[in-house]
């Protein structure tokens, strides 16, 4: 009896380790326990439990087909929204001025005329793996999260970089548009270049550039310096 159960579980494990959808069978309680433990161990391989971009694209496409494709956003401004907007705009001005000052003294603007990029350098940050290099082919951007920081990692074909995945306007999560090599905000039609610079906005005040996040590749894993 144990041998048969062990054989079935071994076959299940083989399927998982080869990245296959496991064959279905009637499992005893003991077998199901072993199988869920096996699933947890497979998830423990670094990067294994992160979806690849193609999977996210498929899920998004099927949801789009089934759900309303023109989401209704309540644009009536509440008092709180206005206060938040004004506060964010004021903060953006102060931060923008200060960084401009720093840039003019320490880091000349690049050839495209932009200022020094803002870098998110957290206190007590550590390098954390967020994806396997193989999950991010050239020409793609992928949203990742470390729990406290949402980012987008980008492979432009020459380099891997990372920027904040949160729109600097009101905090909506950015969606990669690989064809346009940009990141779109779903809330107010703002677009950012992969470098983090604002490409397009329909707001009274230009939103800030996306902060850069330090990134490196180690042991075939993309790692971010975050908390």
Partner 1 sequence: MVGVTELPLAGPPEPAVARDPDTAEYPNWESVYQDNVVGIYQLVFRRVGNAADAEDLAEEVLMQTLKTLRLPAPIHNVRAYLVKTARTVMADHWRRHYAARDAALELERLPAGALVATPSGESADRARRLLGLLPDHFRRILELRFLRGYSVREAANEMGVTESNARVLQFRALRKAAELEQEVFA
Residues 30-89 that bind partner 1 (CB under 8 A): 30-52, 55-56, 58-60, 62-63, 66-68, 71-74
Distance of CA 6 to the CA centre of its chain: 39
Q: Do 116 and 109 meet the contact criterion of CB atoms below 8 Å apart?
A: yes
Tell whether residue 207 is a contact of partner 1 (CB under 8 A): no
Nearer to partner 1, 2 or 158 (CB): 2
Tell whether residue 113 is a contact of partner 1 (CB under 8 A): no
Q: Do 200 and 213 meet the contact criterion of CB atoms below 8 Å apart?
A: no
Tell whether residue 101 is a contact of partner 1 (CB under 8 A): yes
Tell whether residue 94 is a contact of partner 1 (CB under 8 A): yes
Residues 128-147 that bind partner 1 (CB under 8 A): 128-131, 143-147
Give buried/exposed letters for 141-173 (b at 16+ CB in 10 A, else e). bbbbeeeebbbbbbbeeeebbbbbbbbbbbebe
Which residue in the block uniquely carries the two structure tokens 């072993």?
34
151 — phi, psi (to 5°)? Answer: -140, 170
Nearer to partner 1, 25 or 157 (CB): 25
Provide, rounded to whole angstroms, the least separation between the CB of residue 75 and partner 1.
Answer: 9
User: Given candidates 153, 154, 155, 168, which one binds partner 1 under the rule CB under 8 A?
Assistant: 168
């Amino acid at each position: 009896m144990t041998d048969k159960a062990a054989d079935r579980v071994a076959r299940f494990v083989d399927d998982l380790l080869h990245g296959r959808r496991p064959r279905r069978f009637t499992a005893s309680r003991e077998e199901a326990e072993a199988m869920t433990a096996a699933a947890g161990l497979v998830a423990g391989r670094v990067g294994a439990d992160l979806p690849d971009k193609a999977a996210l694209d498929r899920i998004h496409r099927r949801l789009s087909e089934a759900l309303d494709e023109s989401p209704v956003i309540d644009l009536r401004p509440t008092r709180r929204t206005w206060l938040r907007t004004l506060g964010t705009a004021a903060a953006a001005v102060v931060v923008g001025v200060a960084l401009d000052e720093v840039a003019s003294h320490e880091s000349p603007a690049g050839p495209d005329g932009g200022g020094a990029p803002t870098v998110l350098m957290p206190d007590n940050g550590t390098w954390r793996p967020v994806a396997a290099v193989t999950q991010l082919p050239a020409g793609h951007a992928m949203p990742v999260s470390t729990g406290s920081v949402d980012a987008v990692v980008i492979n432009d074909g020459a380099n891997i970089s990372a920027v904040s995945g949160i729109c600097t306007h009101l905090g909506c999560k950015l969606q990669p548009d690989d064809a346009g090599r940009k990141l779109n905000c779903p809330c107010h039609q703002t677009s950012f270049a992969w470098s983090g610079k604002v490409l397009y906005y329909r707001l009274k005040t230009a939103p800030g550039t996306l902060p850069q996040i330090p990134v490196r590749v180690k042991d075939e894993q993309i790692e971010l310096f975050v908390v």
